[in-house]
Amino acid sequence: MAMIEITKADYDKVEDKMRKSIDNLIENLNAIRAGRANPHVLDKITVDYYGSPSPLNAVCNIQVPEARMITLTPWDPSMLKTIERALQASDLGITPSNDGKVIRLLFPVLTEERRKELVKQVKVYGEEAKVVVRNVRREYIDKMRAANKKKELTDDSLKEYEEKVQKITDKFIAEIDTTCEKKNKELMEI
């Protein structure tokens, strides 16, 4: 029976899967609105544009003219009401103001209570990302342990693989903590 050779590509697969959890975390954190206007809070909102769901940035120009305001200028003026309805139906918690040409979103200053709720949400997202990273670690280590049981991988190679995958896992867990800490600092800023 041939022995398995562990290559850099094996570690790259682990890193790629773990990187996806970080990318997803960042996407989720961008959707959490802090006290200032961030156009990323609109990323998950879609509108029906001639029968197909389209992201807001595909149907309008999104700008941040002031620290707590986002303006949306539709390319097609007939989309104004549709965009407004989509914003009202979203979980954004902001009522859009429509002047017939532009939709304005005014972000109120967050209350201390709301900031604390958002910090808890950041923690939940961070924990979910850590669980994904740990599951990736377990998945790949289990594969190598199975190969070791079939005598396709030596005990030393397995041990070395487990240590390297653990180091990769620790690096991603630290990156998750840093990302969440940064978002919490942003949320608690007045």
Residue 2 domain flag: no
pLDDT-based confidence at 34, cuts 50/70/90?
low
Q: What is the Cα–Cα distance from 17 to 12, expressed in whole angstroms?
A: 9
Residue 25 domain flag: yes
Residues 93 and 125 in one domain: no
151-172: average pLDDT: 93
Which CATH number belongs to the domain containing residue 42 in this structure?
A: 3.30.1360.40
Our count of domains for the chain comes to 2
Q: What is the pLDDT of residue 116?
A: 87
Of 106, 133, 154, the position where a domain reaches its end is 106
- Per residue in 105-125, pLDDT tens? 888 777 888 888 889 999 999
Structural tokens at position 127: 């924990």
Residue 172 has pLDDT above 70, yes or no: yes
Residues 149 and 182 in one domain: yes
Q: Mean pLDDT across the chain, nearest whole number?
A: 88
Residues 89 and 134 in one domain: no
Residues 80 and 26 in one domain: no
Residues 84 and 136 in one domain: no
Residue 15 domain flag: yes
Residue 1 has pLDDT above 60, yes or no: no
Residues 180 and 141 in one domain: yes
Residues 137 and 152 in one domain: yes
Of 106, 122, 153, the position where a domain reaches its end is 106
Residue with tokens 């002031």: 66
Q: What is the pLDDT of residue 10?
A: 87
Q: Residue 112: which H helix or E strand, with range?
A: helix 112-149
Instruction: Compute, in degrees rounded to 10, the torsion defined by CA atoms 34, 133, 124, 55.
Output: 50
Query: In terms of residue numbers, what domain contains 14?
Result: 8-30+111-188
Residues 176 and 119 in one domain: yes
Of 44, 78, 106, the position where a domain reaches its end is 106
DSSP 90: S
Residue with tokens 């989309």: 79
Which CATH number belongs to the domain containing residue 170 in this structure?
A: 1.10.132.20
Residues 101 and 147 in one domain: no
Residue 12 domain flag: yes
Long-range contacts of 148-155 (CB under 8 A, 24+ apart): 150/1, 151/1, 152/1, 152/2, 152/3, 152/4, 153/3, 153/4, 153/6, 154/3
**pLDDT: is 46 or 170 the higher one?**
170
Residue 16 has pLDDT above 90, yes or no: yes
